[in-house]
Amino acid sequence: MPRRRLFITAAFLLLGVFAPWAFAGDTTDTQPVELLGMHSSVPADWQAQQPESNMRLAQFAVPVAGDGDGAEMVVYYFGPTQGGSVEANVERWQSQFTGPDGGSVEPEITELSTRLGDDFAATLVSLRGSYARGVGMGPSGDALADRMLLAGIVETPEGKLYPQLHGPAALVAAQRPAFVGFIEGLTRAPASAGD
């Protein structure tokens, strides 16, 4: 094992020992997620739920310590050629947020990688402000203050996945490493012995 990789691995192991909040991919602290012939994992304390619609492949409640709202993590899938471009989705998500002055909120956009191969790009969009969440264009219902949305657009062999984590800003920010870990951990599920 190269020296740099050994050092990085040791650093993550130390983080896992001294910082229990760190997400280092330890399988004892995670639960597997399988969808569309791919798999990854999420933290063990995220509570798997029955998806509320057939557009959701997976749905989790993210608990909060003490009083307050938890967050929700959902993986959307609209079909092999559906879901729209990165730009169209960013515009739609941005339209659901307002800043403290009532103006628009600028998204933070980050490129990620997965284990699916170089041909399958992943984009992470982060927005924070007052959030009137909706499925279509624009806001829907009353805006909730100090919320955060982490929204992924992930190219996969089966089409685009749209994982989203949304809820109180502090909770979502704390869970960002786990959410990014889910995206970056996506890989093709190994073939079963009978295949």
User: Which comes out higher in pLDDT, residue 43 or 157?
Assistant: 43
* Residue 118, pLDDT score: 81
Is 154 within a domain?
yes
Is 30 within a domain?
yes
Alpha carbon dihedral 80, 82, 84, 90, in 10-degree steps, equals -80
Half-sphere exposure (Cβ direction) of 4: Cα atoms closer than 13 Å: 0
- Owning domain of residue 54: 25-188
Number of domains composing the chain? 1
* Residue 136, pLDDT score: 53
Integer Cα distance of 50 and 111 in angstroms: 30
pTM of the model: 0.80
- Contact call for residues 16 and 28 (beta carbons, < 8 A): no
User: pLDDT tens digit string along 66-105?
Assistant: 788 899 999 999 988 888 888 999 999 999 999 998 899 9
Is 4 within a domain?
no
Q: Is the pLDDT of residue 140 over 70?
A: no
* Residue 11, pLDDT score: 37
> What mean pLDDT value characterizes the chain?
83
Q: Is the pLDDT of residue 6 over 70?
A: no
Is 195 within a domain?
no
Q: Which of 175, 178, 166 is nearest to 31 (CA)?
A: 178
- CA dihedral sign, ordered 44, 110, 83, 39: negative
User: pLDDT tens digit string along 25-43?
Assistant: 344 599 999 999 999 999 9
Is 19 within a domain?
no
Is 62 within a domain?
yes
As a whole number, mean pLDDT of residues 154-176 equals 95
φ/ψ of residue 150, rounded to 5: -110, 120
Is 104 within a domain?
yes
Is 10 within a domain?
no
- Contact call for residues 133 and 98 (beta carbons, < 8 A): no
Least confident of 18-22, 34-38, 155-159: 18-22
As a whole number, mean pLDDT of residues 163-180 equals 97
Q: Look up the CATH number of the domain holding residue 78.
A: 3.40.1000.10
Confidence band, pLDDT 50/70/90 cuts, at residue 48: very high
Confidence band, pLDDT 50/70/90 cuts, at residue 189: confident
Half-sphere exposure (Cβ direction) of 77: Cα atoms closer than 13 Å: 19
Please classify residue 149 by burial: count the beta carbons closer than 10 Å to its beta carbon, then call 0-12 exposed, 13-18 middle and 19+ buried.
Answer: buried
φ/ψ of residue 175, rounded to 5: -90, 0
Integer Cα distance of 59 and 54 in angstroms: 11
